[in-house]
A and B are shown apart, each in its own frame.
Chain A
Amino acid sequence: MKKIYVNEEWCLGCHLCEYYCAFANSGKDNMVSALKDVKINPRIQVEEGKDICFAVNCRHCPDPICVKSCIAGALSKNSDGMIEIDTGKCVGCFTCVLVCPFGAIMPNDDGHAIQKCELCTKNGCGTPNCVAHCPNNAIVYEER
């Protein structure tokens, strides 16, 4: 399955992917109205070190511990292998936050459910928005 990968050597630590992620999932069609004065809560997060930066999001694990641990049956693997969240079933217990080894799952804005990267399949973008807008092509969407 195609996944999002980050090449550490090329990541500038500019955080643009976080903004494009937040915009893609905002439901708005204008970036300014989507992000102005908003504290963004993106599904991809950049880690910055002394001489290295990289962005992290859901790895769509083949043997996903989040799915096995969800107390509500709200997380599942779809036929492509993507890990999906049914926010209608999720009760926001954060057991999945407790187990994801990548720290790639997080409370959503109202705190009553979680959010995670679903490869922009559910927000109208079609292809991952972080990949499309990374200025240095450090984020790629490919089969490995």
Chain B
Amino acid sequence: MKYVIIGNSAGAVGCVEGIRQTDTDGGITLIASEPYHTYSRPLISYLLCGQTDEEKMKYRKASFYEDNKVDARLGVSVTKIDPAAKTVATDGGETIDYDRLFIATGSVPFIPPMSGLDTVEKKFTFMTLDSAKALDAALTPESRVLIIGAGLIGLKCAEGIHGKAGKITVVDLADRILPSILDKAGSDIMQKHIENHGIEFILSDSVKEFDGTTATLNSGAAVDFDVLVIAVGVRPATDLAKDAGLNVNRGIVTDIKCRTSDPNIYAAGDCTESLDITTGQNKIMALLPNAYMQGECAGKNMAGGDACYDKGIPMNAIGFFGLHIVSAGSYDGEEYIESDGVNYKKLVTKDGLLKGFILMGDVKRAGIYTSLIREQTPLNTIDFELVKRSPQLMAFAADSERRRKLSVKA
């Protein structure tokens, strides 16, 4: 069996490890445009603030490709997939044939048309190791940095460069920060916390026009800056799949086997849409654990296995300046909220199941909540009042679930 993998990040590594669980010698060729050993993409902000370095941020050991017998072509882009001939073409002019193909091309930064953007000399996105290095090189302790976008990537960037820049201003069209992870109450707590570290927010506003080092906003306000970071959002990298005639909506459409509309082609991660079991809808869940687990599922199936990725839910853990948020699932249902101004907890239930939660501050044992969502545990089989107060295994009936979980002897 000949496997070709496009990508070299969480999805691709999951696929390699998934294949190798069953097929120890089938040839694997891995092709990726970035010229680096697999690295942890979310760590680029930690690299800038000195909490990691290029060696430590490797996602797998230096011997990963060798250990897994992977022919890694790094710094090479795939330009075309031909599903009929079962080949891929590279920008080096090579044509490589496959029996099973895997696509984990991830996402690319979205840059909306903004008037006068071409007059800005120092402008960056924040998605790759190269983009982080370029931004780092442009910063001085006096730099005034303007970040467009108060989502996860924009704010992680702000935290990463906090000690390296003079002033940081974040502008977002939304009326609150981190809208994809937090509700209004949670956003307010986090916003105050980040502001206490000297980062300034301008919300419900957007850039009307750039002129060199000045941004005029739609409200009429003006922000002077030296360095611009655009972090308004990401788009799934689906061009290759589309051109190959695969079924693509916003992301590449995959089933619970992580297979695309072509039976020989699998896909995972940020470039795909998959089932969110809390809503029953297919969506893009652009987060690293999903990318890895989908990739692993695809890899097992490519090697002839019968794995299912049928527990997919959005789930995210993120912290800023020591204040942590963990969240999972979806938020349509009955709410239970506890808040003391610093710690915040919200649990959402519907149809007798836990559907989603947000914990900020105290995140202890949050995985017990996540597992209730992923396993779709009927809440009438556990002591939910107990688990509501704090996540604990005591809530599971002693004679069944808990024994199984802890493999307690009868």
Contact = CB atoms under 8 A, between A and B. Distances in A.
Nearest to B52: A91
B19 to A, nearest CB: 15
A99 B367 contact: yes
A50 to B, nearest CB: 9
Interface string B304-331: 0000000000011111001010101000
Contacts of B51: 91, 112
Contacts of A99: 289, 315, 367, 370-371
A97 B369 CA distance: 11
A69 B289 contact: yes
A68 B18 CA distance: 11
19 contacts: A5-B409, A6-B406, A54-B408, A56-B393, A69-B289, A69-B293, A71-B288, A71-B289, A89-B57, A95-B316, A98-B367, A100-B367, A102-B367, A102-B368, A102-B405, A103-B365, A103-B368, A111-B322, A144-B407
A98 B43 contact: no
Nearest to B296: A68
A134 B328 CA distance: 37
A94 B326 contact: yes
Interface string A77-108: 00000000000110111111111111101110
Interface of A: 5-8, 47-49, 52, 54, 56, 59, 65, 68-69, 71-73, 88-89, 91-103, 105-107, 111-112, 144
Interface in B350-395: 363-368, 370-371, 391-394
Interface of B: 14, 40, 42-43, 46, 51-52, 56-60, 288-289, 292-293, 296, 315-319, 322, 324, 326, 328, 363-368, 370-371, 391-394, 398, 405-409
Contacts of B315: 98-99
A69 B296 CA distance: 12
A124 to B, nearest CB: 25
A143 B87 CA distance: 49
B185 to A, nearest CB: 20
A73 to B, nearest CB: 4
A103 B292 contact: no
Contact of B367 (A54, A73, A103): A103
